[in-house]
Amino acid sequence: MERKVAIVTGGSRGIGQAIAVKLSEAGYDLVLNYRSREDEALAVKKVLEEKGGVCEIVQADVSKFDDAKKLVQFAKKTFGRIDVLVNNAGITKDALLPMMKEADFDAVIDVNLKGTFNCMKHAMRVMMKQKSGVIINISSVIGLMGNIGQTNYAASKAGVIAMMKSLAKEGGSFGIRANAIAPGFIQSRMTDNLPEEIKEEMLKAIPLKAFGQPEDVANLVKFLASDDARYITGQVINVDGGMVM
């Protein structure tokens, strides 16, 4: 396959790392974004390069308009084009609504929602000139169903779905596709550290009776980015073991 170029935000660990690995294996040159964990980003870069991939890392806080612009401009200047943007960067600051601090609401919206807007806006300009491109927003089942203690997170993840749908309508005539993925409970450092009784309670809500793996999300990103998904746009696809069914 002819090598294409993909930007993955929040790509230094977890789902973002799995996405970066999967796209690199599929022949994409990677621009891997991180905010603060340079050591982890460098470790991912090393893994990809050892497998013959091409990866550049860029420090940027995507919640800042100019940082997101810098990220996109770096990708364009370095590789000449941008074929795929995966908006994966996200944070949580959980609390019941009466106790939620305004600063914690703002922080989650700034990174998860505005950060996605910032990256889409800058990448869209490049993709419109190319007359091609794919944007994939990593949302969450929480954006579809809500969750106790996650008003801010739910709002941000519902927002990235709504933005994706609008972008899909705007970008279609330019050959730009946009979709969203809504992961459920994906195995991570957080889930590994949960007490067994909490895990058992969570699993009761999942028909497949297992947590997902980061690779489950990455496999779908690879498909949606490819020409095999050329007629799919404006969609939200759950990777949740049937939890929201």
The residues annotated with a catalytic role in the active site are 153
C-alpha Rg value of the chain to the nearest Å: 17
Residue 19: burial class (beta carbons within 10 Å; 0-12, 13-18, 19+)? buried
Q: How far is CA 39 from CA 12, 13, 91, 210, 231, in A?
A: 9, 11, 19, 31, 38
Hey, which bits of the chain come out as E strands? Answer: 4-8, 28-34, 55-59, 84-87, 133-138, 176-183, 236-239
**238: three-class secondary structure by DSSP:** strand
224 touches 168 (CB < 8 A): no
In order, the DSSP letters of 72-115 are HHHHHHHHS---EEEE---------GGG--HHHHHHHIIIIIIH
**Angle ∠(77,31,43) on CA atoms, nearest 5:** 140
